[in-house]
Amino acid sequence: MASASQDTKTSFWLYRFSLLLVGATLLLILAGGLVTSREAGLAVPDWPLSYGKFFPPMVGNIFWEHGHRMIAGAVAILTLVLSVWIQIQGKQPWLKRLAWAALGAVILQALLGGLTVLYMLPPAVSIFHACLAQTFFCFTVALAYFLHPNFIPAQPAQKSSAQSPNRLALMTFAFIYFQLILGASIRHSSFTAAPHVIFASLVFLHVTLLAIRILRFHGEDKALVRAALGLGFSTVLQVFLGIGAFVFTRMLERGYEPPPAEIFFTASHQTLGAAVLGMSAWICLRARR
């Protein structure tokens, strides 16, 4: 009896720890977005050390670049702890593999970050770095979902395919992910903004359809309804942030330094994009119940 109680307590703290990793990863994505928006990516020309030191003077744009590296280091340590914890807890084999995959992703991400610095922001590496950040965020969301104390494995479908949000949720997730690749391509190369702008309407349409289907046929699942509403609201906000980012980066003249409004719109558009992807990933998993 005491053992069962202990297991429940440990599972609760494991879940809380996974939520901490989700939050830290979103903060890391925001920090990375600020590095790009402030054009601080090459403020520290060496890697893995910074000006040959573990901790350089945090002046000018070094604050943003080295700050990003420190948060990244913290996220890597959190991922390592979570992965080892999951192995020790004797969770399902597929969950253990997912945890190792997340750890592999964060290590690869660190190496890509180093390559972007050493090779002075080659577009292909920078785009890959940006997309892997979003992918890793989805890993953390999935781990947190599966570690929830009330997690119920997927059941055979009980509703008709017309009512199930399963397929629509997957399509929405895929569209958002593709949209993020387009966004990263614009941000890290001279790629045209037109496909990203056009594809936004497709994403918006699918998010709307998904939200309607969930509200109509799955009203009893309060968490799913909340996630659908959150996804819808975030997508609307994301469109406005995208317009702001477009105006400031493509239409307005600027001096040597990006103005604060440009930094706000571009960094928040990128970070909310990650949050939208994470929410759609969570809905995909929840819809399989």
Partner 1 sequence: MKKIFYMTLAFISVCSFPLSAGALRGTAHFNGTPPAPQKVDMNADPTCASAHTEPVYTEEAAVNSNLTLKHVFVYVKQGLEGRTFETPQAAAVLDQKGCQYEPHVFGIQVNQPLEIHNSDATLHNVHGMPRETKEFNLGMPIQGMKLTRKFEKPEIMVKFKCDVHPWMRAYAGVLAHPYYSVTDGEGKYEIKDLPPGKYVIEFWHEKYGTQTQEVSIGDAGDQTLDFTYAG
Give me the residues that bind partner 1 (CB under 8 A), please.
38-46, 51-52, 56-57, 59-63, 120, 255-258
The rounded distance, in Å, linking the Cα atoms of 155 and 95 is 17
Q: Which is nearer to partner 1, 7 or 257 (CB)?
A: 257
Q: Which is nearer to partner 1, 49 or 205 (CB)?
A: 49
- Residue 41 contacts by C-beta under 8 Å, 6 or more apart in sequence? 35, 65, 116, 117, 121, 126
Give me the least distance between CB of 136 and partner 1, in Å please: 25
Output DSSP code: residue 276: H
Give me the least distance between CB of 34 and partner 1, in Å please: 13
Q: Which is nearer to partner 1, 41 or 165 (CB)?
A: 41
Output DSSP code: residue 258: P
Q: Which is nearer to partner 1, 23 or 57 (CB)?
A: 57
Tokens matching residue 61: 């744009």
Give me the least distance between CB of 57 and partner 1, in Å please: 7
Rounded to 10 degrees, the C-alpha dihedral 13/17/18/23 comes to 140
Give me the least distance between CB of 122 and partner 1, in Å please: 10
Q: Which is nearer to partner 1, 1 or 59 (CB)?
A: 59
Query: Is the CB of residue 48 less than 8 Å from the CB of residue 114?
Result: yes
The rounded distance, in Å, linking the Cα atoms of 172 and 235 is 12
Q: Which is nearer to partner 1, 7 or 46 (CB)?
A: 46
Q: Which is nearer to partner 1, 118 or 194 (CB)?
A: 118
Give me the least distance between CB of 129 and partner 1, in Å please: 17
Give me the least distance between CB of 27 and partner 1, in Å please: 21
**Could you identify the residue written with the tokens 């890959």?**
128
The rounded distance, in Å, linking the Cα atoms of 255 and 274 is 29
Output DSSP code: residue 250: I
215-246 burial string, b = 16+ CB within 10 Å, else e? Answer: eeebeebeebeebbebbbebbeebeebbebbb
Give me the least distance between CB of 203 and partner 1, in Å please: 33
How far lies 152's CA from each of 100, 127, 279, in Å? 22, 36, 18
Query: Is the CB of residue 122 less than 8 Å from the CB of residue 3?
Result: no
Measuring CA to CA, which residue among 130, 134, 137, 99 is closest to residue 115?
130
